[in-house]
Every structure is written in structure tokens, then in C-alpha cells.
């Protein structure tokens, strides 16, 4: 049988290789997610390379103290996007990654097009204030970043002396600045998503935010070289290319991000489904081509290098990292004789992993298996955006009987939770009056549970289920909601889930042992984040774009 004949049989076989939502949508597994080639920053870089985007820095007005402004431009085939950066002189005592901060080392806005001097002046009056300022429909994102005090100072010092930074220092921190927020569509006056959603280049999720962060990385590298040159004069050095490339952008984030995946069930479904479909398609491959086997080995080597540099001081992550490193050794050993004779070698490898590896290792194996298969799976990236407006509509014609069936089929996991057990209602999500940010309280110890946010979907769905008791199955959802409007929120979820099996996190989000960092890790992995480093069970640092190209690298490729 020829390869093409085997591949023709592929499509009908994929269903057998899919994981179920019950397997995938568990917090512990989501909290072990790794970036893949479908991650949003990888999608952006692929597009920009394929479309030969050009990049430049038309404005650089930074003084000897590192204060001033700069503009970075991305010039695509249809439109131009410009990051406007403001550099500040921030005293150490004002530096905080928390949302309560009021000043930062640098602040940024993504401008839609080419900003004029008047635009820059307007932004200069607002962007440094972040939440306290206003941006306009000409802007697409607002962000800020703080220095890694240790590494930033070290790099400037060394470069100013004509020396390269200590590789051990670079490896231990990994970034010059970490963003502490990247606000996108419609925030603080910025353009609504609806205004730009028909643009091909930003259709995939978070493309504007990824471009913002990628430019911030370039800005940080430029800034240390600039300050080193001012400090060291003629003897100052530039970062050597390998060191420059090893630098990512840090990101520091807390509970503010955690509810996102719960509040955007359609997006969550589409992200997960695309990734799971990619895995299923790879597993369904009847053969492993020699070049794909080589690519897998290369991907494993890169993964191991990254894992070696991945540090955490948090007990949970330390244990998971140890497990991951052991798993990577197991994968390397398993690959020694792989592929064996027989059909579906990728699936054989996957099935071995499901029995031999920890959750960290299994999800790492997923990322590794996708890596050689760009031609097969990259197109799935186009399925990851969502029309959330349409999905909000309730289908009032649904019968109560159909609703009951849907509940049983998709929310069995939720109906099975015993909410009379205090451990299963131990937490509550709320918004703090002080900063209007999500927080997590202890229900049985703290006041405020009467102001709980509707994030524990399982409990709300149980209440809906109870509300249906005794109703005639022939009745309509429209009638039911007229009588019991308090179930509207949960009912909407059930209807969303009826056609989107990966829309819900299938766990109790108010359980005593729930870890918010699991939600954050899953989202951040979809962004493309690596080196997940929890600072508590509610706070995490990560790195973006580490070991990826810089904008100017793309210009060089075009020139060649």
C-alpha cells in the first residue's frame, strides 16, 4: 500500500483517536499544559513570516536616564500596527507587579496604524497612567512592564564594560522585563474586538496582545544596549545574538486571569477542540515518515533544554518539574527504538505515554507529537477564534426533556459533586471593591460570600437541575425561564455546552483543594508561555518568546 493510499483512509479514522472531554477538561491536566505549535504566539510568528511582514523603529527618544518614548512598527501586506513605548525612571520602592501598582518601569499602547506626533503626545498623557488614563478607538492594547531589577542592572553593567552578561544570570531569570498586564479589546477606551475582527491577521485569538509582547521584548533588548552605550561610551558592547535570543519577556499574573476560561466557554471549547483534533490527527497517522521522526527527536532535545532551564521555588511546581524531567528521560528512552514495525506508530507512542508518564509528561508528549506535523495541523489554528455574541442567545424552543438529557449527558460530573460537604464549598470567587479585581475567599471564614461571582458552574447547574424537578418534559425552556428567571445564567451554559463539549472545566471551582494556577497555566500555555513558575497557588510568573526570533530577524530573512 502506498503512503498516499494510507493517508486517504485517515480522515474516517480520526474519531477513534480523540480524547474525551472527561479526560481533557480536568483542572489537574489543564494545569499541566505546555505550549504547542498551535499556541497564539507561534501562530502570529508563522503568519508574519509567511506574509513577509517588515519591522522598523521610526522613533527612539530615550534619554540617558532611560526615560522617553519609542515606536516599533509592524508593516503587513494590508495594515501597519505600531507599539508606542514609554520608558520611565521608577524608584525601587514603587515597583510592584500587583494590579494595585500606580507606576511602572515601562508602559505601552498598540496603535492601529502609523501614529502622528499628536497621537504620541496624546498617548504620553494617558498610557503611563494605565487604568487611570484613557485610550481611544485608535488603540488596540494597553500594557506595562517592570524590570527584573537583578538582570536588567547586570546586563547594562556588563555591556557598558564591553562584556557579555553572565550566561548563568541570563538563564536563571530569562527576561529583562515582565509585563504585569496586557489589556486588549475594548478596555479603557480601546477599540472593541468587533471593529477589527474581520481582519485576517488578527482573527486568531490574542494576536494583538502577542504582537504587543513581542515588540516589548525588542524594546527591552534595545533599551539595555542604549543605556549601556550611554554609560560605557565607546567600549560598550551590544548583546550577542545568542544571548539576545535567549531573552524572553516575563509575565507576572495573579487571580485576575484565572476566571477568563470560565467566562469564555466558547473560546475555551474552540482552543481545546483544535488542540485535541490536532493530537487525534497525529495519532491517526498510519506511518511515521523519517523526516518527522527526526523532527520529533529535535523537538525533544529543544524541550529538554528548556526544561533544564525551567526553575521554580514553589513546592507544587518543584515536584511537577522533577516528574517532568524524569518523564523526558523516559520519552528519550522510548524513542530509542521507535518507530517499531506495525501501523499507527504515533498512536503507539501516545498510548505508551498515557500509561508511563505523569500528567506533566503526557501533556509534554502532546506538544512534542504536534511539533513535526505543521502541514497536517497548522490549519486548525483558524478554528480557535469564536463568535461569542451568537452563542449568548437562548433557544427558548428547547423542551424540558431535551434540557434534562443535555444535563445528564454533559454535566454528569457537576451533578455528582456533593455540595453539602463543606470542603466542596470552601471557596468563593468575588471582586474586590478596592481594585475591582477577582479574588478568592474562604467561604466558611470570611464575609462576602453573598456577593459571590457565578464561577462555580457545577453548583449553578445543580440548582438548575433541581429547579426542573416535577416539570412536564414537553414544556419549553422559554416558559421555564419565565417562571424561574434565576436559572437563566446556568441554562445558557448548558445550551452552549450542548454543542461544545470542551466548553467547561469539569471540576469544582470552589473546592478547598482547587488550585487557581491550574486555570492560569492552561490559558498561558495557549498563549505560548513557557517556564511556568508559581509564586503561590494564586500567582505565577512565566516567559514568552524565549528562544524565538526578533522582529529584525524577519527583516534579514526578507533581505536575503
Partner 1 sequence: MTQAEGHDPAPAFLSRNEIETLCLKAARGAGMSWGLAEEAGFAAAWLAARGVDGAGALLAHLQNFAPCVIGVHDRQWRATNGTALCPIMLGATLGDHCVLDAGPWSAPITIDAVSQPILLVPFLARGAQICAKPLALTWPGGSFVILANGNVATTALTALSRVDVTTLTLSPASEVAPGTAPGCPMAPLSAATLERLNTLALRTTVPASDTSRRGAGAATSDND
255: contact with partner 1 by CB under 8 A: yes
Chain length of the chain: 560
Output 304 or 481, the one with its CB closest to partner 1: 481
In whole angstroms, give the CA distance from residue 373 to residue 354.
20
Output 54 or 193, the one with its CB closest to partner 1: 193
Contact present, 557 and 549 (Cβ < 8 Å): no
Least Cα distance to 214 among 171, 247, 256 occurs for 247
Question: CA angle, 331 as apex, 328 and 333 as ends, to 5°?
Answer: 110
CB of 206 to partner 1, least distance (A): 15
In whole angstroms, give the CA distance from residue 529 to residue 433.
30
In whole angstroms, give the CA distance from residue 504 to residue 482.
26
Residue from the set 350, 539, 545, 554 that interacts with partner 1 by CB under 8 A = 539
Residues 274-293 that bind partner 1 (CB under 8 A): none
Residues 305-344 that bind partner 1 (CB under 8 A): 313
Least Cα distance to 368 among 339, 343, 335, 326 occurs for 335
Contact present, 514 and 217 (Cβ < 8 Å): no
149: contact with partner 1 by CB under 8 A: yes
410: contact with partner 1 by CB under 8 A: no
Output 70 or 262, the one with its CB closest to partner 1: 262
Output 51 or 192, the one with its CB closest to partner 1: 192
393: contact with partner 1 by CB under 8 A: yes
Q: 436: alpha, beta or left, given left = phi > 0 and alpha = psi -120 to 50? A: left
In whole angstroms, give the CA distance from residue 507 to residue 509.
6
Residue with cell 507606576: 103
Please say whether the dihedral angle defined by the alpha carbons of residues 85, 86, 88 and 94, taken in this order, is positive or negative. Answer: negative
481: contact with partner 1 by CB under 8 A: yes
CB of 254 to partner 1, least distance (A): 6
Least Cα distance to 47 among 217, 198, 207 occurs for 207
469: contact with partner 1 by CB under 8 A: no
DSSP code of 381?
G
191: contact with partner 1 by CB under 8 A: yes
Residue from the set 254, 265, 501, 528 that interacts with partner 1 by CB under 8 A = 254
Residue from the set 378, 538, 548, 552 that interacts with partner 1 by CB under 8 A = 538
Q: Give the three-class secondary structure for 70.
A: strand
Output 375 or 450, the one with its CB closest to partner 1: 450
Output 155 or 440, the one with its CB closest to partner 1: 440
Cβ density class 247-260: b for 16+ within 10 Å, e for less: bbbbbbbbbbbbbe
Contact present, 160 and 192 (Cβ < 8 Å): no
Q: How many chain residues interact with partner 1 (CB under 8 A)?
A: 64
233: contact with partner 1 by CB under 8 A: no
Output 136 or 555, the one with its CB closest to partner 1: 136
391: contact with partner 1 by CB under 8 A: no
Residues 482-501 that bind partner 1 (CB under 8 A): 482, 485-492
Residue from the set 116, 446, 499, 556 that interacts with partner 1 by CB under 8 A = 446
Residue from the set 361, 441, 501, 551 that interacts with partner 1 by CB under 8 A = 441
CB of 97 to partner 1, least distance (A): 4
Site for partner 1, rule CB under 8 A: 92, 95-98, 137, 146, 148-150, 185-194, 252, 254-255, 313, 392-394, 396-397, 430-437, 439-442, 446-448, 451, 454, 476-478, 481-482, 485-492, 535-536, 538-539, 541
Amino acid at each position: 500500500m502506498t503512503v498516499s493510499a494510507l493517508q486517504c483512509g485517515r480522515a474516517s479514522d480520526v474519531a477513534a483517536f480523540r480524547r474525551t472531554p472527561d479526560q481533557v477538561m480536568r483542572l489537574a491536566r489543564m494545569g499541566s499544559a505546555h505550549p504547542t505549535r498551535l499556541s497564539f504566539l507561534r501562530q502570529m510568528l508563522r503568519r508574519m513570516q509567511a506574509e513577509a511582514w517588515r519591522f522598523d523603529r521610526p522613533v527612539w527618544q530615550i534619554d540617558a536616564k532611560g526615560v522617553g518614548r519609542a515606536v516599533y512598527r509592524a508593516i503587513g501586506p494590508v495594515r501597519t500596527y505600531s507599539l508606542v513605548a514609554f520608558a520611565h525612571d521608577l524608584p525601587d520602592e514603587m515597583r510592584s507587579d500587583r494590579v494595585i501598582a500606580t507606576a511602572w518601569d515601562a508602559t505601552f499602547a498598540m496603535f492601529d496604524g502609523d501614529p502622528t506626533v499628536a497621537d504620541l503626545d496624546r498617548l504620553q498623557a494617558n498610557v503611563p497612567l494605565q487604568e487611570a488614563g484613557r485610550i481611544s478607538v485608535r488603540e488596540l492594547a494597553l500594557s506595562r512592564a517592570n524590570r527584573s531589577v537583578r538582570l536588567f542592572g547586570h546586563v547594562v553593567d556588563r555591556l557598558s564594560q564591553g562584556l557579555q552578561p553572565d550566561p548563568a544570570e541570563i538563564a536563571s531569570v530569562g527576561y529583562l522585563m515582565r509585563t504585569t498586564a496586557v489589556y486588549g479589546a475594548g478596555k479603557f477606551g480601546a477599540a472593541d474586538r468587533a471593529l477589527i475582527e474581520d481582519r485576517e491577521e488578527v482573527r486568531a485569538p490574542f494576536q494583538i496582545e502577542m504582537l504587543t509582547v513581542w515588540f516589548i521584548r525588542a524594546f527591552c533588548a534595545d533599551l539595555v544596549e542604549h543605556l549601556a552605550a550611554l554609560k560605557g561610551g565607546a567600549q560598550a558592547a551590544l548583546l550577542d545574538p545568542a544571548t539576545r535570543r535567549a531573552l524572553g519577556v516575563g509575565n507576572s499574573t495573579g487571580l485576575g486571569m484565572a476566571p477568563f476560561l470560565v467566562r469564555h466557554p466558547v473560546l475555551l471549547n474552540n482552543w481545546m477542540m483544535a488542540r485535541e483534533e490536532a493530537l487525534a490527527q497525529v495519532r491517526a497517522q498510519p506511518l511515521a515518515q523519517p523526516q518527522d521522526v527526526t523532527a520529533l527527536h529535535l523537538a525533544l532535545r529543544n524541550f529538554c533544554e528548556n526544561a533544564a532551564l525551567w526553575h521554580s521555588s514553589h513546592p507544587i511546581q518543584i515536584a511537577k518539574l522533577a516528574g517532568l524531567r524524569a518523564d523526558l528521560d523516559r520519552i528519550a528512552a522510548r524513542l530509542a527504538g521507535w518507530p517499531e514495525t506495525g501501523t499507527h506508530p504515533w498512536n503507539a507512542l501516545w498510548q505508551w505515554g498515557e500509561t508511563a508518564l505523569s500528567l506533566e509528561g503526557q501533556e509534554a508528549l502532546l506538544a512534542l507529537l504536534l511539533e513535526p506535523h505543521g502541514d497536517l495541523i497548522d490549519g486548525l489554528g483558524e478554528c480557535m477564534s469564536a463568535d461569542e455574541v451568537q452563542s449568548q442567545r437562548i433557544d427558548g424552543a428547547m423542551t424540558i426533556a431535551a434540557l434534562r438529557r443535555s444535563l445528564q449527558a454533559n454535566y454528569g460530573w457537576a451533578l455528582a459533586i456533593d455540595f453539602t460537604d463543606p470542603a466542596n464549598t470552601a471557596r468563593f470567587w468575588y471582586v474586590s471593591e478596592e481594585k475591582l479585581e477577582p479574588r478568592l475567599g474562604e467561604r466558611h471564614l470570611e464575609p462576602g460570600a453573598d456577593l459571590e461571582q457565578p464561577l462555580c458552574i457545577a453548583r449553578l447547574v445543580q440548582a438548575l437541575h433541581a429547579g426542573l424537578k416535577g416539570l412536564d418534559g414537553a414544556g419549553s425552556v422559554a416558559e421555564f425561564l419565565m417562571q424561574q428567571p434565576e436559572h437563566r445564567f446556568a441554562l445558557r451554559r448548558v445550551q452552549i455546552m450542548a454543542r461544545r463539549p470542551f466548553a467547561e472545566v469539569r471540576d469544582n471551582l470552589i473546592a478547598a483543594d482547587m488550585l487557581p494556577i491550574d486555570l492560569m497555566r492552561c490559558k498561558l500555555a495557549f498563549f505560548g508561555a513557557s517556564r511556568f513558575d508559581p509564586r503561590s497557588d494564586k500567582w505565577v510568573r512565566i516567559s514568552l518568546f524565549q528562544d524565538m526570533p526578533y522582529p529584525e530577524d524577519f527583516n534579514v530573512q526578507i533581505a536575503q
